[in-house]
Structure 1
Amino acid sequence: MPHCILECSPEILKHCDQQVLMQRCFDAAISSELFLPEDIKVRIQRLENQKIGETALTQLHTEVKILDGRTVEQRKHLSKKVLQGLHAYLSETGLTQVSLSVEISEMERASYSKVIF
């Protein structure tokens, strides 16, 4: 845990190195000091269609799924770290007109299942 899911508009993916984008998210999760590196999973989902109000904004929304039990302060800290890490990278690429957001969602520990084989 966590699962970091980056939902990106095509415009963002055109201007970014996807491996670097994922690494920045990974590094931000590590910097939160809430997880071990081997527990962090990051993936990108391309948004084929999107609409943000009546604007020309592109979008990067990151959902970070974590097991329940973290405090509000820990979740807020994680959200800020991921937002800062991704914002820094997107700024380096020269992108503008981006809607960047981070959502922390909790998964119920009692019902989460996983196997590695």
Structure 2
Amino acid sequence: MLLLDCPCCGQRGEETEFHCGGEAHITREGPSSDDAAFEHYMFERVNPRGVHFERWRHVAGCGKWFHAARDTVTLEVWGTYPAQTSRPPEELLEKIRAARPGFKWRDIA
């Protein structure tokens, strides 16, 4: 069972209080995009073995969206942060890199 800290209201809860909204930090394509870009946005998601950045909503609490970094193998939650950011906080990335030397995820080095 995952234990998540909501960065919006400060409450800690089990994953049943939250709803996962899929991969975080993806480029959303609109109606003016070409077919290949829209297809990539709609259907191509990563499913890594290891650290993954996801969107979560605190449905049993404040109802707000936030991002979480977690390990898909060990279920370790590295941290959570507000959804209004375009990339994970540097201190969170440093924490992950310290435990996982050479960690790199997509364009987030």
TM-score (norm 2): 0.30
More helix by share: 1
